[in-house]
Amino acid sequence: MTIQYYKKAEKNASTGYGETQETVARMLAEIEAEGEAKAKEYCRTLDGWEGDVVVSREQIKAASARVPEQLKRDIEFAYERVSRFAAAQRDSIGEFEVELSPGLFAGQKLIPMETAGCYVPGGRYAHIASAIMSVATAKVAGVENVVACSVPRDENGIHPAILYAMDLAGADIILQMGGVQGIASMAFGLFTGKPADILVGPGNRFVAEAKRQLFGRCGIDMFAGPTEIGIIADESADPDIVAADLVGQAEHGPDSPAWLFTTSRELADAVTERMPGLIEALPETQRKAADAAWRDYGEIILCDSREEVVEVSDRYASEHLEIQAQDHDWWMANLNSYGSLFVGEEATVAFGDKCSGTNHILPTKGAARYTGGLCAEKFLKIVTYQRQSREATRDVAAVTARLSRCEGMEGHARTGDVRLAKYYPDETFELVIAEEV
């Protein structure tokens, strides 16, 4: 395979990871040991917030009054589409029972988790849509207690539009706390008495690492670190649109990778030429983030064929993957690893990030090789059960006893023996001894 790095990143997802890991481990240990007092201390020193941690109904009403009516309608537009898509995902799986052999029944049940912790970023940007993506999806799945948290933005607390979106989406308790301390508070049940069964939501590298370290004690949606974009483009792509979409994701933060996979050197030239001007035109905060992200994490990879592009793209397993190339059906049939796919130049990542309906909480750092994004199913425990008649037990118990003895598990074997002796006292069943095999 002939692959050429037209532009190669100077950094990768592992850059600075050791320091992040140590910082998060220390903070989690301190908060677990010292409880709410330590979480409040971090909130004061890192978030600059000394007010109440739990948001009151009065504060929600006051925040709602500060949200312009058009913005409310836009939030409701996004909420309606995200909720409808989440409901369709939920309804695509179901409970069932099947008779595997006469009298032997096995089934599947869907049980919502009791408590979900939803993290909503609110530091550099007010991630209004993230409140909808996490909270609404949990509620659609049937989660009883949804605890949401976000960083206090000023003396009034959480950004009013984020607070409005959290409440609209159905959050039961809202914490004014960001970062590791917010994640820890939801995981340990601080301020709520309801430890999270699952933690979901995007965040910076510290938030992502806190979720990773807490996995096992509770569930997590996935490893959702700094956002990524991959764009597959050929000679038919519009370089203005490709460059704009790369910059649109790079502005999220200085460690947000932006990748272009292309078979066209001419397109690579044109996109490279446009990137500095587009970045320079951004406001200062966004400009600094996008400039660092493109300089340190941006890549352009040239391939000889679309088959090579697929191989490279699947290896990168981009969080967001756009197709701006001819023959959409071929790409959809051959690509396998991505968080969410945006087909055609009309279907840009920005639309999915905000309001088109699919969830924007997606796997990063290669996790799309083994998982998809946040969906209603993430909040459901898919559990099984079985029941059977005594007639069905005749065969199942005999096979279980023989297999167990072959494995050397005499206790298991005897559970089958006692049932056979009780239900079929007049019959003899063949024994299999492990040593005979």
Give the catalytic positions in this structure: 319-320
In whole angstroms, give the CA distance from residue 31 to residue 23: 12
Find the DSSP H helices in 319-409: 328-334, 349-354, 390-407
Q: Residue 250 in contact with residue 256, Cβ under 8 Å?
A: yes
Encoding tokens for residue 404?
């167990």
Q: Residue 276 in contact with residue 294, Cβ under 8 Å?
A: no
17 a known binding residue?
no
252 a known binding residue?
yes
119 a known binding residue?
yes
360 a known binding residue?
no
Residue 106: half-sphere exposure toward Cβ, Cα within 13 Å: 4
In whole angstroms, give the CA distance from residue 382 to residue 376: 12
Closest listed residue to residue 81, CA positions, set 311, 360, 320, 283: 360
In whole angstroms, give the CA distance from residue 349 to residue 329: 19
Q: Which long-range contacts (CB under 8 A, 24 or more apart) does 32-40 make?
A: 32/184, 32/188, 35/188, 35/190, 36/185, 36/190, 36/191, 39/177, 39/181, 39/184, 39/185, 39/190, 39/191
320 a known binding residue?
yes
391 a known binding residue?
no
Report DSSP letters for 226-275, one per residue: S--EEEEE-TTS-HHHHHHHHHHHHTT-TT--EEEEES-HHHHHHHHHHH
Report DSSP letters for 5-32, one per residue: EEE--S--TTTTHHHHHHHHHHHHHHHH
181 a known binding residue?
yes
Annotated binding-site residues for substrate read 227, 249, 252, 320, 353, 407, 412
Annotated binding-site residues for NAD(+) read 119, 181, 204
Annotated binding-site residues for Zn(2+) read 249, 252, 353, 412
